[in-house]
Amino acid sequence: MVVAWIVDLIRDGVTDPRQLTTARIAIDKLLFSPEEISRMYQQSLAAVESSKGIPAVKELALRIGRRSYSALRPDHRPTVYDEQAIANDIAMRA
């Protein structure tokens, strides 16, 4: 249910600071399957593109991207190369 809410929030381009803060907390604290977080990352990149690069949407995409890229790593930590790939993904869509 949380995944659906976050995906809807991203898809609808919501920029309400309270909802974005709640989404950030959920992304940072909850466990998602690699498939779920990957889907959320693709949705967040589409939201960056449709929002014309609103900073709050880009920041949410960055958080989700970190989780997505690190989901398959044993330590679940993004690398410097992941950070660059995420920045490139966001820049291409903004």
Please give the pLDDT value at position 91.
95
Residue 69 near residue 78, CB atoms below 8 Å:
yes
CA-wise closest residue to 90 among 37, 64, 20, 30: 64
User: From CA 42, how far away is CA 59, in angstroms rounded?
Assistant: 14
Residue 30, pLDDT above cutoff 90: no
The answer to whether the pTM exceeds 0.85 is no
Please give the pLDDT value at position 32.
83
Round the average pLDDT of the chain to a whole number and report it.
86
